[in-house]
Amino acid sequence: MKVIRPIQTSDYAALLDIANESGIGFTSLPVNEDLLTHKINQSVLSFAKDINEPCDESYLFVMEETDSGEVVGTSGIASTVGLDDAFYHYHLSKVVHASRELNIYNTVDILTLCNDYTGVSEICTLFLRQSAREGNNGRLLSKFRFLFMMEHAQRFSDTVIAEMRGISDDKGKSPFWQWLEEHFFSMDFPTADYLTGIGQKQFIAELMPKYPIYVSLLSKQAQAVIGKVHEKTKPALQLLEQEGFICRGYVDIFDGGPTVEANLKHIRTAQMSCKMAIQINDRLAVQGREYFAINTKIEEFRGVCTRLNIDDDQDIAYISQAAADALTLTEGQDIRFAPTTFRT
């Protein structure tokens, strides 16, 4: 069984392996010992905090195979972004150039540097190792976060965003960044991506063009990838779109990938989730349908995909002993759960 739990200091080696496998363009997991150690330590401290409102907490989770103890994936949530370091985006919008006398009316797309998402929560750092990409593992690694956020809503902003990885090739070349590099920077995409990942963002403010950029001035290759996602990111984007996330024109300043957003209470998994006490009954549990389920704890948080049999009249969820053990729960304790698929 795969179980989601908070990352621990002993998971460093596994996180480093995941960082290496994730490749260039996965900004939130650069291959850097100091940064990865800091991410783990910051997460451990965040889980230990007593929170009334979101601040600078960062929660990092891992997916573990219970039989072998192998860590096969990671997933994270930032309670807020942009409070300590500027959080940059380009916003894609339009301007109109018109002349009534000449009977000319032109609509032009522009990219404007902005910090509009300062203070919102972000789901991030989602990566599942190739060996574990089967069944509902990927969906669990993404969707359990909405259950966690709904259960502990005081720890997060009402608005939730996700930055989607944009298009780059196997060598880390981004068509969008290549145009910026040629005109404003003297560093390649992997270097800029790495510096951002380790928190050295001052070069953005120093070198990034301060005025809006006319999209028509970009290379054709750069124009073609604005708002598009990397091939490996398409399944993740599709999952978020099914949850109700939409793009409002914000794109990444390095690769042009889209940023999508939703209100926490309107995210479909969060909205459809229920909270009930459990009764352990293997026979009844196996007759139910599959759900993503979490316990309601913080430091001892656990999440799984399992079969539940729901008794709405008694407000009880029947669960197997194995699932209860994975969630570190005993009879009568609460779970929050949502269906793995949405019925239409």
CA 144 to CA 267: how far, in whole Å?
12
CATH number at residue 176: 3.40.630.30
pLDDT digits (tens, 9 = 90+) for 270-312: 999 999 999 999 999 999 999 999 999 999 999 999 999 999 9
Residues 215 and 308 in one domain: no
- The pLDDT of 132-154, averaged and rounded, is 95
| Residue 278 falls inside a structural domain | yes
CATH number at residue 297: 2.40.40.20
In a domain, 46, yes or no: yes
Domain boundary among 268, 288, 317: 268
In a domain, 110, yes or no: no
Check if 230 is active-site: yes
- Same domain flag for 153 and 135: yes
Phi, psi of 279 (to 5 degrees): -125, 135
Residues 63 and 70: their CA atoms lie apart, in Å, by 8
213 and 296 within one domain:
no
Same domain, yes or no, for 287 and 262? no
DSSP letters of 144-172?
A: HHHHHHHHTGGGS-SEEEEEPP----TT-
Identify whether the C-beta of residue 41 lies closer than 8 Å to the C-beta of residue 9. yes
pLDDT at 220: 94
Q: Say which of 97, 183, 230, 266 is annotated catalytic.
A: 230
Which residue, 234, 268, 302, sits at the end of a domain? 268
Amino acid at 140: L
pLDDT tens-place string over residues 173-194 = 789 888 877 777 666 666 666 6
Kindly tell me if the per-residue pLDDT of 3 is higher than 60.
yes
Residue 122 — φ and ψ, nearest 5°? -135, 130
- Same domain, residue pair 165 and 45: yes
**CA–CA distance, 222 with 220 (Å, rounded to integer):** 5
Q: Same structural domain for residues 181 and 202?
A: yes
Phi–psi pair at 152, nearest 5 degrees: -125, 55
pLDDT at residue 196, as a whole number? 64
| Same domain, yes or no: 161 and 224 | yes
**Whether residue 180 sits in one domain with residue 74:** yes
Same domain, 53 and 124: yes
CA 230, 233, 236 angle in degrees (round to 5)? 155
23 pLDDT above the threshold of 80: no
Show the domain range for 332. Answer: 273-339
Q: Considering its fold, how many domains does the chain have in total?
A: 2
Question: Is the residue at 291 inside a domain?
Answer: yes
Q: Is a pLDDT exceeding 60 seen at residue 201?
A: no
Boundary of a domain, candidates 244, 268, 292: 268
Give the predicted TM-score (pTM) of the model: 0.90
Whether residues 166 and 28 share a domain: the answer is yes
DSSP string, 65-99: ETTT--EEEEEEEES-SSSSS---EEEEEEEEEEE
Give dist(CA 317, CA 336) in Å, integer: 10
Co-location of 327 and 195 in the same domain: no
Is 63 in a helix, a strand, or coil? strand
Q: Residue 109 to residues 97, 165, 323: CA-CA distances in angstroms?
A: 11, 22, 52
For the chain, percent of residues with pLDDT exceeding 70: 91
The answer as to whether 98 is a domain residue is: no
- The SS3 of residue 9 is helix
Same domain, 130 and 171: yes
Return d(Cα 213, Cα 157) in angstroms, integer.
31
